[in-house]
Chains A and B, each alone.
Chain A
Amino acid sequence: MAKKVTAVVKLQIPAGKATPAPPVGSTLGPYGINMMEFIKSYNERTAQQVGSIVPVEITIFEDRSFTFVTKTPPAGDLIKKALGIASGSGTTGKTTVGTLTQEQLREIAQTKMPDLNANDIEAAMRIIAGTARSMGVAIEQ
């Protein structure tokens, strides 16, 4: 389809739980797309993944129609899943919420490799390790 693209927007939102509140409303509203249809379709498509954050890339065309594709979960979500925790530390540096093994780190880096700006797995692991530390997660040496 050769329609002109107005914008490509990526949202990270909870699977099956999109609502017209921000970030969906505040991001998509100004583009004049049928938001209820996006919300309905996204929630339908991600219903099996409730409990995860499922990023979605929305392409908006000049006639205000749109398409979307879902992406791999964000690194933070994969880290929390690997450790079985609900959230990162609200007070980074003061509390540690878990420890990630090198094996878990490598696995998450491999999953996220296609979405990361990293040339090799070591660079990807550094990004994941940094993200984990910023959430109050220690890395096993």
Chain B
Amino acid sequence: MRWAEITVRVPPDASEAVAQALMDNGCTGVAETASGSNATVTSGWLPVDDLLETRLTRIRERFDRFGEFGLSAPFDMTVRRIADPDWLSEWRKHHKARSFGRRLLVCPSWEESASGTDRAVVLLDPGMAFGTGGHPKTILCLEALDELVRPGMLVADVGTGSGILAIAAVKLGAAHVYASEIDALPRRIAAENAQRNGVADRVTILTPDELDALRPTCDLVVCNIIAETIVELAPLLSALVAPDNGALIASGIVEERYGLVEQALIQNGFEIAEVRADDVWRAIIARRSPVR
């Protein structure tokens, strides 16, 4: 199908009326973007068919009368014809498989590189902003997991989001991962992602309260949230990390908040083993201090 794209630059008081004019004349919806502080750009789409010219005329007639209704007139209106590409698959062009460290490959489900690689493959389709492996704070965690996960480890992923780190840990050999998440929507998405990766039986998705009640002793804990939350969770993280050589990866720390996190971890029985940086982001690898 071909479409006519109608674009109208609108003063603020007329934006509601312009949107309504487009929808009363056949547009199934409209899009709005800001255009400086004194205008929005409103766009609507009509199918190119026998009704198009009549609809466009009615829209123009209505705009011409805005003054009578006590509204500012739209600044200008343009119409251009567009083809209807396959928008559903168009976006896939932008997303490619990415390697992390020596062993990991994070790969969209439609990419063929998932087969024929000796890397541990995490299948993850980009989507809502819950961690798709593209952000520096998550990259730091994936690289650290790549180095630290050994076969048979028990792992906790505090603030799992899409489940990317929990799934990666299992793919790298962890026996089981306890993954907690405060929001219901990412919990559901994490469960779907674990299922898609064939690791649902090795990832237990929990609410923060459930994790707090369970407090499994883990060889490795990863917490990829933000500095303030890591500080708040430091006592729990300390309880989760095995006292004999267990490790913590804490990420999502902007450089100016680093000191706060370091202090909280030390106060809760950790020793800072290593600090990694990517742009303004810091990730801490910490170990429980030996009991004296």
The interface bits of chain A over 82-111 (1 if a CB of B lies within 8 angstroms of the residue's CB, else 0) are 000001111111000000000000000000
Known pairs A12-B19, A134-B62; A27 contacts B91 (CB<8 A) = no
B160 at the interface (CB under 8 A from A): no
The segment from B64-72, B99-107, B215-223, B234-242 found at the interface with A is B64-72
CB distance from A27 to the nearest CB of B (A): 4
Interface size class of A (residues with CB under 8 A): 35 or more
Contact A65 B30 (CB under 8 A): no
The answer for the CA separation of A113 and B135 in the assembled complex, in Å, is 37
Q: Max chain B CB contacts within 10 Å: which of A1, A14, A21, A22?
A: A22
Chain A positions 1-38 with a Cβ under 8 Å from a chain B Cβ:
1-3, 7-14, 20-29, 31-37
Name the contact of A117 in the complex, choosing from B3, B13, B61 (C-beta under 8 A).
Answer: B13
Name the contact of B254 in the complex, choosing from A2, A34, A127 (C-beta under 8 A).
Answer: A2
B24 at the interface (CB under 8 A from A): yes
Chain B positions 4-36 with a Cβ under 8 Å from a chain A Cβ:
5, 12-14, 16-17, 19-21, 23-25, 27-34
Shortest 6 CB-CB contacts between residues of A and residues of B = A76-B20, A63-B134, A25-B87, A22-B45, A32-B94, A117-B12
What is B's interface to A at a CB cutoff of 8 Å?
Answer: 3, 5, 12-14, 16-17, 19-21, 23-25, 27-34, 43-45, 58, 61-62, 65-66, 68-71, 82, 84-85, 87-88, 90-91, 93-95, 125-130, 132, 134-135, 185, 226, 254, 280
